[in-house]
Amino acid sequence: MASPWPRRPRLVAGNWKMHKTPAEGAALAREFVALAAADPAGKGCEVAVCPPFTALAAVGEALRGTGVHLGAQNMHAETHGAFTGEIAGSMLAAVGCRFVILGHSERRHGMGETDEQVAKKLRAALRDDLTPIVCVGELLAEREGGKTTEVLVRQIAAAYAGLDAATTRTTVIAYEPVWAIGTGKVATTEQARDAHRVIRATLDQTVGAGVGSEVAILYGGSVNAGNAATLFAENDIDGALVGGASLEAASFWKIAAAAR
């Protein structure tokens, strides 16, 4: 069945987490670009890779002129100052980043990042001309306790309260159930679709009617070359945030090609 037109933008973003030196990252980026150039099947889907901070410059250089975007995995909300170990959004933009992942579950649950901090970072990313990929998702205990909707509504409402519709449309959201990240346990298409619909309805309520259907929402959590096409066949899933499978050029390319 043909997808409805106009379609929301599609994006497949690779989250490299704490993997790859500058040299290793540049090599992986070049390998991916060569695959993309040899097979234009992935055209029609935007692709981004998000290396660790230290590899951004080298990977950005390898991606120059290729159309593959560069993204970072986190940023600080302030523009500059005494924040040892932190990186400002303007610094990411200056090194060539187009995207920044915000509120990843490994930061929310591993580093204690709060809804309030994610909201501040979202505004800061927009100020610094970065496209935020705002991550939301429930823990296994929350899903089993019937709290998935409550968690998604809380995380989305906290991040988007006060933003206008035009600004909201420029952002990207990633639904990443925490129990699916790095576990090999991918959400079913129905689970992802239902969560994406909750997110869209929450955007309608928080920002304004109709906005929810216009924002690109990615699914993340154990996406691989074998399950991507099934997920992307669901109209509410506009792409993927990919961890493990983005560390290998061939599997990441297959995922991008499946999203076209």
For ligand PGA, the closer CB: 4 or 184? 184
Q: Does 15 participate in binding ligand PGA (rule CB under 6 A)?
A: yes
Q: Is the distance from CB of 245 to CB of 224 less than 8 angstroms?
A: yes
* Residue 22, Cβ density class (10 Å: 0-12 exposed, 13-18 middle, ≥19 buried): middle
Q: Does 220 participate in binding ligand PGA (rule CB under 6 A)?
A: yes
Active site residue 176: yes
Residues 6+ apart with CB under 8 A from 112: none
* Residue 14, Cβ density class (10 Å: 0-12 exposed, 13-18 middle, ≥19 buried): buried
Contacts with ligand PGA in 63-122 (CB under 6 A)? none
For ligand PGA, the closer CB: 215 or 245? 245
> In whole angstroms, what is the distance from residue 31 CA to residue 195 CA?
34
Least Å from the CB of residue 134 to ligand PGA: 12
Contact with ligand PGA (CB under 6 A) among 72, 122, 211, 241: 241
What is the size of the binding site for ligand PGA (CB under 6 A)?
A: 13
Q: Does 14 participate in binding ligand PGA (rule CB under 6 A)?
A: no
Q: Does 51 participate in binding ligand PGA (rule CB under 6 A)?
A: no
> In whole angstroms, what is the distance from residue 239 CA to residue 116 CA?
26
DSSP codes joined into one string, 112-146: ---HHHHHHHHHHHHHTT-EEEEEE---HHHHHTT
Active site residue 104: yes
* Residue of 69, 104, 142, 196 marked catalytic: 104
Least Å from the CB of residue 176 to ligand PGA: 6
Residues 6+ apart with CB under 8 A from 162: none
Q: Does 55 participate in binding ligand PGA (rule CB under 6 A)?
A: no
> In whole angstroms, what is the distance from residue 114 CA to residue 133 CA?
16
Least Å from the CB of residue 242 to ligand PGA: 5
For ligand PGA, the closer CB: 91 or 245? 245
Piece in contact with ligand PGA (CB under 6 A), picked from 85-93, 109-117, 211-219, 235-243 = 235-243
Contacts with ligand PGA in 141-200 (CB under 6 A)? 176, 181-182
Chain CA centroid to CA 80, Å: 25
Determine the length of the chain.
260
Least Å from the CB of residue 243 to ligand PGA: 2
Please tell me whether residue 211 adopts helix, strand or coil conformation. helix
Contact with ligand PGA (CB under 6 A) among 49, 244, 256, 257: 244
Catalytic residue positions?
A: 104, 176
Contacts with ligand PGA by CB under 6 A lie at 15, 176, 181-182, 220-223, 241-245
